Amino acid sequence: MAQKVAMVTGAGQGIGQAIAERLANDGFAVSLVGRHLDKVQKIADEINGNGGKAIAIKADVAERDEVFAAVDATVKEFGDFNVIVNNAGLGPTTPIDTITPDQFDWVYKVNVGGVLWGTQAAHKAFKELGHGGKIINATSQAGVVGNPNLALYVGTKFAIRGITQTTAQDLAAEGITVNALHQVSLRHQ
């Protein structure tokens, strides 16, 4: 059986790093995507040093073309593509009266745009490769219940739940499953 291939966005730290490491431990070849190449390269080097197979890719998920290029680079390197984990996200503290248009654009482009572009890029790759696949979108308990002072973040996580539910229905007939990874955030005051 051929090695399965996964791509994880926001893989330079935290939950994204843990997901990438777990996939590698489970036998996946993984591409680690992040805005800071040095961060994802360090983790890719650790995975490779532990007997896994990983590459690091610099991309900003807010930019559609960069997400498509990252998927293309993953397919080119590993010869297949089976799973995308749309994990990259921002969670700034944003009391409702402090939100600026720039903050809104930035958070929604990363959190929601990154999921949309990742879903589109994965769908394109699955079709070109002639098989189904898995799309996993990072949401949060904040996508179920509003949290104080996090209006932007919470709004994006509610949006991701809706996008996930819709695309799960839209892509099921093609053998593509779309699910949400529900994260619980522990914030220290």
Distance (Å, whole) CA 67 – CA 69 = 5
- Looking at residue 186, its pLDDT comes to 47
User: 3-class DSSP state for residue 66?
Assistant: helix
Average pLDDT of span 169-184: 91
| pLDDT higher than threshold 50 for residue 189 | no
Domains along the sequence of the chain with CATH:
5-183 (3.40.50.720)
DSSP assignment string, 78-115:
HS---EEEE-------B-GGG--HHHHHHHHIIIIIHH
- What is the set of active-site residues? 153, 157
Share of the chain above pLDDT 70, in %: 93
Report the 10 Å Cβ neighbour count for 50: 11
The answer, yes or no, to whether residue 180 has pLDDT greater than 70, is yes
pLDDT digits (tens, 9 = 90+) for 1-36: 689 999 999 999 999 999 999 999 999 999 999 999
Are 70 and 46 spatial neighbours (Cβ–Cβ below 8 Å)? Answer: no
Global pTM reads 0.94
Q: At what angle are helices 37-49 and 14-25 packed, to 10 degrees?
A: 30
Question: Band of the pLDDT at 75, cuts 50, 70, 90?
Answer: very high
Lowest mean pLDDT among 57-66, 85-94, 178-187: 178-187
Q: pLDDT tens for residues 111-146?
A: 999 999 999 999 999 999 999 999 999 986 666 677
pLDDT of residue 187: 45
